[in-house]
Structure 1
Amino acid sequence: MEVKAVYKYARISAKKMRDVAQEIQGLSVSQATDILSYTPKKGAYLLNKTLKSALANAENNAELSVDTLVVKSVMVDEGPTMRRTMPRARGSANMIRKRTSHITVILADQEG
């Protein structure tokens, strides 16, 4: 059985988030939590929150055993981009793009 958790509008670019997400795919939940807690990146913190949410969904809603769960997939999609302007010389302005992303974590029972 599969359980998922979604974190929408996370204030980090999808490109930075995907580097962290690739590290935990296919691992057990305990290994993934250990790796994320010792990774010094903002994306690791946000992904750890989403992983804990998926774990709580599995435990409370689907009544699955936490020990047998594996990270089946982690999808990071681009969210909407907030656009801000930064004043520059001679009355011109540059665009600042504050990117967001949507994080989806899917957990599944370990096969075998």
Structure 2
Amino acid sequence: MGVRKRESAEARKAANKQVAFAKLNNCPTSPRKMRLVADMIRGAKVERALQLLKFSNKEASRKVEKLVLSAIANWEAKNEDASLEDADLFIKEIKVDSGAMLKRLRPAPQGRAHRIRKRSNHVTVVLAANDNTQSN
């Protein structure tokens, strides 16, 4: 059993060598607005995704752009010997999860109060090297 575990662990490490990720926690933007930006770049090549994010006029795109650049830097740190141009990186996965919610009260007519929910989110970006089986 020890040999089988070791072989599967080595196979997992080899697969993870081609993958890099970055995570942004507690970003003070609603998840719905962030998902619009995430859907725009999902599955795209990194160069194309950075162009889309740079010229998008949404505020959430600035934060996602920094996150993609961070994931690229993480990939470069993992693979010092490989070049970025030859790797043909693409966004394998990007997911937006709901984060903590700040609950505030806003005065309403006739002495009542309405609850305001200030939402935040967590964004995870996973980059992978294109191995010519993908057609992106």
TM range (shorter): over 0.9
Contact 1:3 1:62 in 2 (8 A): no
Kindly tell me the number of residue pairs found equivalent between the two proteins: 112
Q: Which deviates the most, 54-63 or 77-86?
A: 54-63
TM-score (normalizing by structure 1): 0.92
TM-score (normalizing by structure 2): 0.77
In 2, Cα distance between equivalents of 1:94 and 1:62: 52
Selected match of 1:35 from 52, 68, 76: 52
* Letter paired with 2:83: S
Secondary structure class of the residue paired with 2:100:
coil
Contact 1:28 1:70 in 2 (8 A): yes
Query: 1:71-110, aligned counterparts within 5 Å?
Result: 71-110=91-130
Give the aligned partner of residue 58 of structure 1: 75
Give the aligned partner of residue 33 of structure 2: 16
* Letter paired with 2:45: S
Q: Tell me which protein shows more helix as a share of its residues.
A: 2
Choose between structure 1 and 2 for higher RCO, CA contacts under 8 A separated by at least 6 residues. 1
- After superposition, the C-alpha distances for 1:30-68 in whole angstroms (9 at most, x for unaligned) are 110000000000111111011011011111234343222
Sequence identity percentage: 35
- After superposition, the C-alpha distances for 1:63-88 in whole angstroms (9 at most, x for unaligned) are 34322211111101111111011122
Name the larger-Rg structure.
2
The RMSD of aligned alpha carbons is 1.2
Unaligned runs of 5+ in 2: 1-17
